[in-house]
Amino acid sequence: ILNVEQSPQSLHVQEGDSTNFTCSFPSSNFYALHWYRWETAKSPEALFVMTLNGDEKKKGRISATLNTKEGYSYLYIKGSQPEDSATYLCALSGYSSASKIIFGSGTRLSIRP
């Protein structure tokens, strides 16, 4: 059974500061790790999908890394902006299209102007 833990649960960051948070998993028995951004009053929106140990993905000021050997993924935000305020969800999906996708409880990020 896949298990996903995210830390911290919430984070307050000053505008302009860089930040990062963690998704950890006890087992690398999954096919893909996904990061989603979930803004208040909206629906989750996909950011990245990573499948291989050492994968790094970047989209603008946001980047993510995957370390399956040590059981974690980091999401980095460089130069935080107010529009980055959201809950960031990590999820694991298995090896078949019938596998459940397991979501972590998320890290709620608030950017202080």
Partner 1 sequence: DSGVTQTPKHLITATGQRVTLRCSPRSGDLSVYWYQQSLDQGLQFLIQYYNGEERAKGNILERFSAQQFPDLHSELNLSSLELGDSALYFCASSGTGVGETQYFGPGTRLLVL
Residue with tokens 């970047």: 58
Closer residue to partner 1, CB minimum distance, 18 or 100? 100
Task: Establish if 24 lies at the interface with partner 1 (CB under 8 A).
Answer: no
Sign of the C-alpha dihedral, residues 7, 21, 106, 82? positive
Taking Cα atoms as reference points, which of 15, 2, 24, 22 lies closest to residue 107? 22
Amino acid at 72: Y
Phi, psi torsion values for 82, nearest 5 degrees: -55, -35
Min dist. Cβ of residue 93 to partner 1 (A): 5
Where does this chain touch partner 1 (CB under 8 A) — which range of 16-24, 43-51, 54-62, 63-71? 43-51
Where does this chain touch partner 1 (CB under 8 A) — which range of 10-18, 66-74, 75-83, 88-96? 88-96
Query: Judged by CB under 8 A, which of 49, 57, 67, 78 binds partner 1?
Result: 49
